[in-house]
Structure 1
């Protein structure tokens, strides 16, 4: 292989690894959101797990955060604003990425 091909292969491998890490962080973030939303409603851990599975399923069906925001807002009803959900989503994504770095 030439040096260019080596670099291209390395770049593709890094891209795939970065995408995998982003995917794992999103799924972790969704679980965190489910725990937060369930706690806000005063529900049990089992409810949080169930809602977490639902959020992950929704997130896998559509690219982007809109489906997650909508699901959380529907779950919580009028007790939360979209701005609050989006802020919490960002916070939880930061926490998910931080935890992943700590695990490496």
Structure 2
């Protein structure tokens, strides 16, 4: 291989790694959001974990996080605004990225 091929392979590997980390951070942020929402709704234990999984799955409906925001907003039945949920999700994403920075395999 020549230098160009080596660089191309390295860029492809970095791109794949970055995409994987983005996916993990988004999924973890959705789980954290789900656990936060469950706590606010008075759900705990295994039921909270199960609810968090439904939030994660909701993210597969469409690109972006609006599907998650809609789901959680609907589950709160008007008690929490979508803007509050968006703000909390941003906090969750920052926390998720921090957790992955500490332990990328977790």
Scaled by the length of structure 2, the TM-score of the pair is 0.91
Native 8 Å contact 1:38 1:44 kept in 2: yes
Structure 2: segments with no counterpart, 5+ residues: none
User: Matched residues in 1 for 2:57 and 2:31: separation?
Assistant: 11
2:63 aligns with 63
1:79 aligns with 79
User: Matched residues in 1 for 2:83 and 2:61: separation?
Assistant: 23
Per the TM alignment, residue 79 of structure 1 is displaced from its structure 2 partner at its CA by 1.0
Per the TM alignment, residue 94 of structure 1 is displaced from its structure 2 partner at its CA by 0.2
**Cα RMSD for the two superposed structures:** 1.1
Q: Which moved more, 1:86-95 or 1:49-58?
A: 49-58
Residues 60-83 of structure 1 deviation map (CA, whole Å, 9 limit, x = unaligned):
232210101011101111111111
Residues 3-55 of structure 1 deviation map (CA, whole Å, 9 limit, x = unaligned):
11111110010000010011111111111011100111111222221111111
1:36-51 matches, cutoff 5 A: 36-51=36-51
Name whichever structure is richer in helix by fraction. Answer: 1
